[in-house]
Amino acid sequence: MTSASEPSRDDADIAMARLDALAACTDEPGRITRLAFSPALRDANARVLAWMREAGMAAGIDAAGNVVGRWEAETAGASAVMIGSHLDTVRDGGRYDGPLGVVAGIAVVERLRREGRRLPLAVEVIGFADEEGVRFGGSILGSAAVAGTLAPDWRERRDADGIDAATALRSFGVDPDGVGAASRRRDPPAAYLELHIEQGPALEDADVPLGCVTAIAGATRLLVTVDGTAGHAGTVPMRLRRDALAAAAECVLAVERLCAGAEAVGTVGHLRVAPDAVNVIPGRVRFSVDIRAAQDEVRTRLVDAALAEFQASARRRRVELAWQVTSRTETTPCSPRLVEALAGVLAGMGLPAPRLASGAGHDGIAVSAITEIGMLFLRCAGGISHHPAESVTVADVRLGIEALHRWSLALRRG
């Protein structure tokens, strides 16, 4: 009970407090780093599980390490809609990218419970375990397991410390041989809805709190290894060197140049040098490439062009080049029916309903394989994301929860 002097804390205040609590679930003190199947993610899952159960949901960890809760329909066992997002983060990330969509889903169920309301459909809330793909290079692993579309090689993917995904899952308390049981292909949700920060400046520039996402850009991620010859920095003449980092540097600049000249974005966000010593010529470099475009054919053409330039550089410098595609997603449209339904909800709230595409990837890409997907974007300051300065206002979160709640009340069977 709050005292008369204290304003009552509403869903949005509680959601913000929960997002702060999840921000403390990190493997790197002083910053937010909660990678797939890490101790920090186990801690976050436990908190979310407790909030789901306190909200009256049947909740648990599924066979892929996702945390799932269910608010039963008026008829037990009815089909469900799924509201959610991811609980893992990038390294040194923000506190809203992902968890916002999970705590907002819980807030909707808490409202339904306070109203004593059961809907024609059940409401499932899910926190996906590995959307960012920072640890193993892929992305949307948790949601791909739910969609039944896991890449065959997901188990072999290794993190920077050489730990493979299957071993990581096992240490997380989930049997990697049982991941298939997370698939919802046979009983798919009737729809999937994600509230997510925009991670861009459009809503703030338009001074609008929420927007309806029309499509999610596809992305191709590569992991590239360049092998040269390590050697003494003081004695090997420049003309005899096979410097792996100098070759990789040419590749990084090629990605930037090719994408800058197209309707695309290209990033080398991860790079490791071996043996990584000031007085040793780099013998091996491993780096990531992330190329995205609204048009799949533009992205494919740029990936091919980048690889051709990498190979030309390798030949010129007499180094070996190897690469693997660690993730490839196609540009995925949101369901026009859901876009219009969400636009109607915003109009009913007296809000503008801008439509916008997402340059960021999301779990909806995977879930679109089994049901129609919708996304609501929420304004974030300066469009900043994947950065500790990521921030939203409680007023916008209040509107986001209200929109999800109104959407859920409009649900009809069939």
Instruction: Report how far residue 127's alpha carbon sits from residue 81's, in angstroms, rounded to the nearest whole number.
Output: 14
Please check whether residue 391 is in contact with residue 96, taking contact to mean a CB–CB distance below 8 angstroms.
yes
Question: Judged by CB under 6 A, does residue 150 bind ligand HGY?
Answer: no
Residue 106 or residue 219: which is nearer to ligand HGY going by CB? 219
Per DSSP (E only), the strands in 4-149 are: 58-61, 67-71, 80-86, 122-128
Question: Out of 11, 88, 130, 131, which residue is the one contacting ligand HGY (CB under 6 A)?
Answer: 131
Interface residue with ligand HGY among 361, 364, 374, 400 (CB under 6 A) is: 361
Minimum Å gap between C-beta 153 and Mn ion is: 23
Tell me the C-alpha distance between 199 and 304, whole Å: 28
CA distance 51 to 113: 13
Which residue number, 137 or 228, has a Cβ lying nearer to ligand HGY? 137
* Shortest spacing between CB 131 and ligand HGY, in angstroms: 5
Residues 6+ apart with CB under 8 A from 297: none
Element (H, E) at 221: strand 218-227
Q: Which is nearer to ligand HGY, 342 or 360 (CB)?
A: 360
Binding test (CB under 5 A) with Mn ion, winner from 11, 97, 124, 227: 97
Least distance between ligand HGY and beta carbon 169 (Å): 19
317 binds Mn ion (CB under 5 A): no
Toward Mn ion, which CB reaches closer, 130 or 243?
130
Contacts to Mn ion from residues 113-142, by CB under 5 A:
none
- Identified binder of ligand HGY from the candidate list 124, 132, 243, 390, rule CB under 6 A: 132
Q: Which does 363 bind (CB under 5 to 8 A by kind): Mn ion, ligand HGY, none?
A: Mn ion
Helix/strand/coil (H, E, C) string of 143-170? HHHHHCCCCCCHHHCECCCCCEHHHHHH
CA-CA-CA-CA dihedral for 62, 113, 98, 299, to nearest 10 = 80
The tokens of 187 are what?
A: 């009983």
Which among 5-13, 131-139, 154-162, 204-212 is the span making contact with ligand HGY, rule CB under 6 A?
131-139
Q: Please, what is the minimum distance in Å from the beta carbon of residue 32 to Mn ion?
A: 12
Our CB check for Mn ion shows the closer of 227 and 390 to be: 390
| HEC letters along 168-204 | HHHHCCCCHHHHHHHCCCCCCCCEEEEEEECCCCHHH
Residues that bind ligand HGY (CB under 6 A): 131-132, 139, 360-361
